[in-house]
Amino acid sequence: MEFTPENLYEEAEKLYVQEGYSCTKIEQVLGLNRKKVSAYLRSKDIKVKVIAGNHNKEEIQAKYTKGEEMFLKGRSLRNTSKELKISRAGFSNWLKQRGHIIKAKNNFKSIDLERKLLTAENLFNKTNALFKSAKEANVSFYVLSRYLEEKGYDLKREIYKVDESIFEKIDTSIKAYWLGMLYADAYVDNFKNVLEFCLKEGDRSHVEKFKGFLQANNSIKTKKGQR
């Protein structure tokens, strides 16, 4: 089974392992099919917990109630969630909805996270690439998204920029040349919403020239299994 785009599935793995998100929650956040997320995690030898049916809601509610008692007695969120085998993120949100204040146990970690988020924000302002900024700053994509949205960023805008009007009028030979190349050696993958070229890897410089012609700022990737 092919898992593409790879960066989204890598982010899904982080959300599941580090943030405690369920496959269903990951589907809502990243737009990936939860069954494929589950299959991807299993391919990485990660044990996937399956919660099916409404009969588990009462069980989870009971665990949350017991966890609240433990939390009020001074138990940490991490240890409580681990002992009760519940999602830490889900339990944390439940506690917040009930009026509890969740504070970071280690202030150094909060400062370190803030520093990473500021670094990621600066990278995003330069590249306009959310996934790349999060990865380079070593911070969760979801955490960065929420952080930027709270600061007023409109993340619904297009991540990449391109001159969309370049082919509205074919009035130069260079426009005609590139348009001909598109017809001959390229196609649009509607599922991934990307433009793909059927060229050998040695022609990468030619694609770079086309990128410059479009005044685009997106990255260029070589498709696996092709040379």
Q: Which pLDDT belongs to residue 72?
A: 81
Which residues, in sequence order, are CB contacts of 80 under 8 Å at separation 6+?
A: 67, 70, 71, 91
Please give the structure tokens belonging to residue 85. 């085998």
Q: Which pLDDT belongs to residue 117?
A: 87
Q: ∠ CA 216-220-226 to the nearest 5 degrees? A: 145
Mean pLDDT of 181-207: 80
Residue pLDDT, tens place only, 50-105? 654 444 567 788 888 899 888 888 788 888 888 988 888 888 888 887 777 776 55
Which residues, in sequence order, are CB contacts of 150 under 8 Å at separation 6+?
A: none
* Amino acid residing at 39: A
d(CA 4, CA 7): 8
Q: Which pLDDT belongs to residue 225?
A: 57
Q: How many angstroms separate the Cα of 10 from the Cα of each of 32, 104, 132?
A: 12, 26, 12
